Amino acid sequence: MIFAFCNIIKMKILFASALLFISFYSFNQEKGDMKSQQILDKLSSKMKEYKTFYIEFNAVIKNQSSGVNENEIGKGWVKGNKFCASYGENTIISNGLKTWTVVKEEKSVYETDVEANSEDNINPKRLMTIWETGFKNKYEKEETLNNEKVHVIYLYPKNPSKVDYHTIILYVSKDEVELKKAIMKAKDGTVMTYTLTKFQTNPVVEDSKFVFDGKKYPGYSIVKD
């Protein structure tokens, strides 16, 4: 009788432990592993301290199956939810409500609501905060990038059917806790690599920087989504 009772107690303990493990594992799967989450939380805290910031970066887009191999130099200014960026000869301007994409080659301006394609559209604001919503994260490893120790963190979309990419890889400096590089892997095989070459915090940026002025683009057609 005592032996049977002890076995029942042991089974209950094992069952409770299993439930605890499953709950903890499920939470980690949803939230991300603890190490990567702590790093990303620190990164977010630092970004929230800046009223404005300016970045310069190299953008490389490759797709072996389609033969795409593009390399552009970009720069961007961010102030709150507003941003202005240039990618090669193209310009993106957003006042926080509307976004205007100026395509010089087409002499066209595409006007969209900010939230209309926020999941897939990469701009300076989203690039520097992309990990904050909609992703599970996983710490991969520590490595050296340009003679600097960095954390390598993988992001996986929580709703993969709603986005065009399946993985984002972040390279975060170990000492400065700053984003140094981001790689986006799309479902169609396209790989987009953004490497930051300059990051300036709290520069003076006038609000006029984020206002679209059609007079500056004579002869351009405006296409509203």
Residues 6 or more apart in contact with residue 6 via CB below 8 angstroms: none
Return the pLDDT at 92: 94
- State the pLDDT at residue 26: 42
The model carries a pTM of 0.80
Compute the Cα dihedral for 114, 189, 60, 45 and give only its sign.
positive
How far apart are the C-alpha atoms of 49 and 54, rounded to whole Å? 14
> What is the per-residue pLDDT for 100?
95
Burial 183-217 (b: 16+ CB within 10 A, else e): bbebeeebbbbbbbeebeeeeebeeeebebeeeeb
> 53 - beta bridge partners?
78, 201
Q: Give the pLDDT score at 76.
A: 95
pLDDT score recorded for residue 120: 54
Instruction: Give all domains of the chain, ordered by start, each with its CATH number.
Output: 35-224 (2.50.20.10)
pLDDT digit string (tens) for the chain, length 225 residues: 443 434 444 444 333 343 333 343 444 444 448 999 999 999 999 999 999 999 999 999 999 899 999 999 999 999 999 999 998 889 999 999 999 999 999 999 999 988 755 555 678 888 899 999 889 999 999 999 999 999 999 999 998 888 888 999 999 999 999 999 999 999 999 999 999 999 999 999 999 999 999 999 999 999 987
